[in-house]
């Protein structure tokens, strides 16, 4: 398919940080839209911190504008922006909007958002026709203020934490003022439509997986059954070491497996709780069975998907309401025919039917998680059946091509057939 764009104007995609290994789903969307002819500029609120990038990032052609991460770091840039934007006809209305918000949220972060919005407005006025925020919290706040300053429309892609930790009053404001909003699970969409003045603004649009980057495995897995110490079942998980991923539940479940079971656990990812999890593994007496690999490039993660027998992700709702939407790593694992175990929160049951595409257990239920792990460890035939069904599910219902056209149409991208 080739595409044409209904207008030549540039769309600014505003992200909290770019590039980020943990947000490859955003990068694949930008690349797909770019290939359909959309003229994109990336605006990042923070500079990159990851040591490596995905191959997707190398293919994206869009230029990147980095805003001041902290206002005190670039005072002259901020002052120049304020001098310029205060002459814009809509500046005072935008300033009033921000001051009302500051009255309800007296934080340095709220001040920083408006400062970044002034810089964005000053440097992109006349260069972009639309602003699009990825995430409903900080990026959408910057975009909302910049939109008011510049007098251009804005939209948003909402995902997970940004939906469930943003105050209700702020979500309602943003839903009322944006042109449209897309989100990646039915659970998210239902929540946003329930609080929106105009529910029609909210569009369900799964991220989808670029299956071309995840071709099916070419070799069959060994029929490991957990009986041989020299050939243990490999249990893999990919995710940041943060509370909502439930890794302490997973470690507890691994500890409760029958002593005779032969398994190894491999974790890929970084995160604030990584050191605490390693310490917990020591306390539980299972540290010798675990490899902590840290963050890895996508090509290395793909190799581990193909080597693993089981993929486990014990997602849960954190005490502050934070939760996953539909973790992209589940799509990736299923695309490699790995038998998956996860929990029944958010959009995960929209992808996985229990005992058909994988196993679903209740969140925070260590006993159920242990039982599911043990069931898959001893039964390679079950793992094979679930893996194949999961692979088919992703490729037929959750491929990127199946879902990108919806958001592309919102930006005026009209697909046309190749000549």
Neighbours of 300 (CB within 10 A): 12
CA dihedral 100, 105, 106, 112 (to 10 degrees): -90
The whole-angstrom separation of Cα 162 and Cα 27 is: 18
Contact call for residues 340 and 360 (beta carbons, < 8 A): no
Give the pLDDT confidence score for residue 415 in this predicted structure. Answer: 59
The whole-angstrom separation of Cα 209 and Cα 298 is: 13
Largest Cα separation within the chain, whole Å, is 74
Among 130, 124, 134, 106, which residue's Cα sits nearest to residue 45? 134
Domains of the chain: 2-208+400-416 (3.40.50.2000), 212-397 (3.40.50.2000)
Peptide linkage before 311 cis (omega within 30 of 0): no
Contact call for residues 376 and 225 (beta carbons, < 8 A): no
Give the pLDDT confidence score for residue 406 in this predicted structure. Answer: 86
CB-based contacts of 275, cutoff 8 Å, min separation 6? none
The whole-angstrom separation of Cα 24 and Cα 386 is: 26
Give the pLDDT confidence score for residue 216 in this predicted structure. Answer: 92
The whole-angstrom separation of Cα 57 and Cα 46 is: 16
Give the pLDDT confidence score for residue 143 in this predicted structure. Answer: 98
CB-based contacts of 417, cutoff 8 Å, min separation 6? 1, 2
Q: What does the H/E/C string look like for the chain?
A: CEEEECCCCCEEEEECCCCCHHHHHHHHHHHHHHHCCCCEEEEECCCCCCCCCCHHHHHCCCCEEECCCCHHHCHHHHHHHHHHHCCCCCHHHHHHHHHHHHHHCCCHHHHHHHHHHHHHHHHHCCCCCEEEEECCCHHHHHHHHHHHHHCCCEEEEECCHHHHCCCHHHHHHHHHHCCEEEECCHHHHHHHHHHCCCHHHEEECCCCECHHHCCCCCCCCCCCCCCCCCCCEEEEEECCCCHHHCHHHHHHHHHCCCCCCCEEEEEECCCCCHHHHHHHHHHHCCHHHEEECCCCCHHHHHHHHHHCCEEEECCCCCCCCCCCCCCHHHHHHHHCCCEEEEECCCCHHHHCCECCCEEEECCCCHHHHHHHHHHHHCCHHHHHHHHHHHHHHHHHHCEHHHHHHHHHHHCCEEEECCC
Give the pLDDT confidence score for residue 293 in this predicted structure. Answer: 98
The whole-angstrom separation of Cα 137 and Cα 320 is: 14
Q: How many angstroms from the chain centroid is the CA of residue 68?
A: 23
Among 261, 278, 336, which residue's Cα sits nearest to residue 304? 336
Say how many CA atoms lie within 13 Å of 87 toward its Cβ.
6
Q: What does the H/E/C string look like for 248-272?
A: HHHHHHHHCCCCCCCEEEEEECCCC
pLDDT along the chain (419 residues), means of 10: 47 95 87 93 92 82 96 97 97 97 96 98 96 97 98 96 94 97 94 96 91 91 95 97 97 97 97 97 98 93 97 96 93 98 96 98 98 98 98 93 84 61
The whole-angstrom separation of Cα 277 and Cα 282 is: 9
């Amino acid at each position: 398919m080739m595409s044409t764009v209904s207008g030549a104007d540039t769309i600014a995609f505003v992200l909290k940080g770019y590039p980020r290994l943990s947000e490859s789903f955003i990068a694949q969307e930008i690349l797909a839209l770019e290939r359909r002819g959309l003229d994109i500029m990336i605006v990042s609120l923070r500079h990159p911190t990851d040591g490596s990038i995905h191959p997707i990032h190398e293919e994206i052609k869009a230029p990147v504008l980095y805003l001041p991460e902290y206002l005190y770091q670039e005072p002259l840039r901020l002052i120049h922006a304020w001098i310029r934007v205060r002459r814009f006809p809509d500046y005072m209305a935008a300033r009033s909007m921000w001051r009302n918000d500051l009255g309800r949220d007296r934080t340095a972060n709220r001040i920083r958002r408006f400062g970044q919005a002034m810089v964005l407005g000053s440097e992109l006025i006349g260069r972009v026709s639309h602003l699009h925020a990825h995430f409903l919290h900080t990026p959408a706040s910057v975009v909302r203020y910049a939109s008011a300053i510049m007098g251009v429309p804005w939209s948003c892609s909402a995902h997970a934490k940004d939906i469930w930790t943003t105050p209700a009053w702020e979500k309602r404001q943003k839903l009322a003022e944006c042109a449209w909003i897309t989100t990646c699970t039915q659970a998210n969409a239902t929540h946003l439509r329930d609080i929106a003045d105009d529910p029609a603004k909210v569009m369900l649009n799964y991220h989808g997986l670029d299956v071309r980057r995840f071709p099916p495995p070419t070799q069959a897995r060994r029929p490991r059954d957990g009986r041989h110490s020299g050939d243990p079942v490999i249990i893999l998980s990919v995710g940041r070491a943060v509370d909502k991923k439930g890794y302490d539940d997973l470690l507890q479940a691994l500890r409760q497996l029958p002593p005779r079971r032969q398994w190894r656990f491999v974790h890929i990812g970084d995160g604030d709780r990584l050191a605490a999890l390693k310490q917990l593994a020591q306390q539980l007496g299972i540290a010798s069975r675990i490899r902590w690999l840290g963050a890895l490039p996508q090509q290395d993660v793909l190799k581990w998907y193909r080597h693993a027998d089981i993929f486990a992700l014990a997602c849960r709702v954190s005490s502050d309401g934070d939760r996953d939407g539909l973790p992209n790593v589940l799509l990736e694992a299923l695309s490699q025919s790995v038998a998956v175990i996860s929990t029944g929160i958010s959009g995960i049951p929209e992808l996985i039917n229990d005992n058909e595409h994988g196993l679903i257990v209740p969140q925070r239920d260590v006993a159920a998680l242990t039982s599911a792990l043990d069931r898959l460890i001893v039964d390679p035939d079950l793992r094979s059946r679930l893996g194949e069904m999961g692979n088919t599910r992703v490729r037929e219902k959750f491929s990127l091509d199946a879902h990108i056209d919806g958001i592309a149409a919102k930006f005026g991208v009209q697909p046309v057939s190749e000549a």
